[in-house]
Copies of this chain bind each other. A is one copy, B any other.
Amino acid sequence: MPTYDLLITGCDVLTRQDGSYVVVNDRDIAIAANRIRAIAPAGQIDRAQAREAIDAAGMLAIPGLINCHTHAPMVLFRGLAEDVPIESWFNDYIWPLESNEEPEDIYWGALLAIAEMIQSGVTTFADHYFFCDEIAAAVEESGVRANIGWAVFGHEGIEKLDATCEFVRRWQGGAGGRITTWLAPHSPYLCDGDFLRATAERAKALGVGIHIHCSETQGQVALSLKQHGVTPAVMLQQAGVFEAPTLLAHGIALTHDDIAMLKGYDVAVAQCPKTYLKLAMGTAPVRAMRQAGIVVGIGTDGVVSSNTLDVLEQMRLLALDQKQAARDSTVMPLQEVMAIAFEGGARALRLPEIGELAEGKLADIVLMRQDGAHLFPRYNAIANLVYSARAGDVDTVICDGKLLMRYGRLLTIDLPRVRAEITRRLRRLNQRVAEKRLATYPVTQD
């Protein structure tokens, strides 16, 4: 019987040597079940030991990309809120649109989003959305890995919070371990202290983490100081949220004191710079967070702000925005971008077995073509990955040892059918009735 289920032959591999990310050439990668069992110079592993082989000569193998913060089914509204201010974006677009959603919409929306992520080399995503059973079903079918949190607003009450705990119980460890579940209160500005405290207690009792928006704009921080006398981060701390593993989305307006305080907790921050640029929200203090030892990962946010679920693009924008904001082209060097995207992503989702191509790790692997003119010469393969490669270069995607895309063709999702199902729903979904909105964004006067 063959030792390996899959042998990837002759590729370049993004890996780590002495703490640095490097690209080594001409390697074979052997996979058994859902794990990487060997990475060896090409030819060393006997081809006959593998049930199936993929010739990956000329390709670059990277760890499956990790999307630490998104609202995947919002792909249903792609392009519906362009060039608008953030308050209008929430109150006139997003929340009225989302009031139209029904559970089956979410299932098809999640499949479309997962198709886009697979095509972009993303194998794991952290979702913060509604009707999460449908999202979990789409994850289970499509073969990707996800951390799913059912978003809840304080005004929906404890009963709704408890319903999201039931989702956690139903799906924790689901899809053969590919699904993890967390609690997902929306934000300190839409969940009061008591609601946050109740969330923290439940998260601790369930043994799960909390995924929440925090300090997205300076205006939110000013409003929190006015209304509560503390920053949103301190409000979370006081409610006990940080006693559970926490993933903060954005943190653009975290203060110096917030960052010093966060050092004492198991808190990570997801960065989605395309949203910050497009909605003109400012630039997060990523270097200060990292200097304080806070884990930072990369997310895409939902596509109504960022238009794509493309983590490669967000990596590039993170570096570009950080350099420009600091007026210093030496900040956020290539090694740091790699550390945030891969190690940071894995740590932010508390999934230590992903984010690295090494023996024993889970087999989440993306093969990227390198034959485009934009990737030559290859003096610096990591610079090419961060600043030249594009999602269109993704050729083959493996998650948990299974092939999800090969030669650019999706293997687990029938995209034409997904498009057809969504097309039937578009007219109902794109209505906007202000009174029907899910919630109201407070005026913050940024």
Contact = CB atoms under 8 A, between A and B. Distances in A.
Interface of A: 75-80, 82-86, 89, 112-113, 115-116, 119-120, 274, 276-280, 282-283, 303, 306-310, 317, 319-321, 323-324, 326-331, 333-334, 371-374, 376-380, 383-384, 387-388, 390-393, 415, 418-419, 422-423, 426, 430, 446
For A82, A84, A119, A415, the residue with the greatest tally of chain B CB atoms inside 10 Å of its CB is A82
19 contacts: A75-B373, A78-B377, A79-B377, A80-B380, A82-B333, A84-B330, A85-B329, A112-B376, A115-B373, A116-B374, A274-B320, A277-B323, A278-B387, A283-B324, A307-B387, A309-B374, A373-B418, A379-B426, A391-B392
Oligomeric state, in copies = 2
A interface SS class:
helix
A430 B308 CA distance: 36
B310 A377 contact: no
Contact of A391 (B78, B374, B446): B374
A373 B138 CA distance: 15
Contacts of A308: 374, 387-388
A386 to B, nearest CB: 8
B327 A282 contact: yes
B120 A374 contact: yes
A276 to B, nearest CB: 7
A87 to B, nearest CB: 10
A422 B376 contact: yes
A329 B86 CA distance: 8
